[in-house]
Amino acid sequence: MRCPYCQSEDTQVKDSRPAEDGAAIRRRRACPDCGGRFTTFERVQLRDLTVVKRSGRKVPFDRDKLLRSFDIALRKRNVDPERVERAVTGIVRQLESSGESEIPSGEIGLLVMEALKSLDDVAYVRYASVYRNFREAKDFQDVLGELRGGGADGE
C-alpha cells in the first residue's frame, strides 16, 4: 500500500481488525521512510465485476459510484447511513455471488430501486424518475401507484 504522504511503496501494517460494518478490514499502517501513519479499509472482492452499459460499453464496477447513487437519491432525507451502507453491501454481495462477471447496468438499477423502496419512498421516486427517464407527470403518478401497491395504473 502506497504512503499518502511520501508515496513510498514500503508501508507496514501495525494493526488489523474488522471494520465497524463487518464487511471490511481496518488496517493501521506506518511508513518507515517518512514516519507517517494512516488507516486503510480493505474489502474482500470475490470477483472483478464489469458493468455493461445500455450503449454496450463496458466499465469496471465501482462500489463508490453505487454509494453515490444512493446518496444523491437520499439527499436531505433522514435515513441512517448504516442502513444505506448495508443496502450497498448487500447489492455488491448479490452481484458478486451471481456467478456473472458482466452485469447489465439495468440490473443494477433495479436492485438500487428495490433497496431504495425499503429505505425511503421519496428517494425511490427520485431515483425512479432518472432511471426510468420520466417525461411527464403521469410517470410520477404511475410510480406513486406502485408504492401504494396498486400497480402502474393505480388500481
| Residue 56 belongs to a domain | yes
Same domain for 35 and 110, yes or no, is no
What digits encode the pLDDT tens for the residues 116-155? 989 998 898 888 877 777 777 777 777 777 777 754 443 3
Give the pLDDT score at 38: 94
In 5-113, DSSP assigns E strands to 12-18, 24-30, 37-43, 50-52, 58-60, 102-104
What percent helix, strand, coil does the chain show, rounded to 5? 40, 20, 40
What average pLDDT does this structure show over 74-92? 93
Same domain for 81 and 135, yes or no, is yes
| Residue 71 belongs to a domain | yes
| Residue 80 belongs to a domain | yes
Same domain for 96 and 133, yes or no, is yes
Same domain for 22 and 57, yes or no, is no
Same domain for 61 and 131, yes or no, is yes
Query: What is the total count of domains within the chain?
Result: 2
Domain that holds residue 29: 12-43
| Residue 5 belongs to a domain | no
d(C-alpha 3, C-alpha 5), whole Å? 5
The residues, any chain, with a CB within 8 Å of residue 5's CB and separated by 6 or more, are 31, 34, 36, 38
Same domain for 129 and 64, yes or no, is yes
What average pLDDT does this structure show over 104-114? 92
Same domain for 58 and 114, yes or no, is yes
| Residue 32 belongs to a domain | yes
Same domain for 56 and 123, yes or no, is yes
User: For residue 73, is pLDDT > 70?
Assistant: yes
Give the pLDDT score at 111: 95
Same domain for 58 and 111, yes or no, is yes
| Residue 7 belongs to a domain | no
The per-residue pLDDT of the chain, averaged, comes to 86
Same domain for 37 and 54, yes or no, is no
| Residue 154 belongs to a domain | no
d(C-alpha 36, C-alpha 21), whole Å? 26
What digits encode the pLDDT tens for the residues 26-54? 999 999 999 999 999 887 655 689 999 98
Same domain for 123 and 61, yes or no, is yes
User: For residue 85, is pLDDT > 80?
Assistant: yes
Give the pLDDT score at 50: 94
| Residue 1 belongs to a domain | no
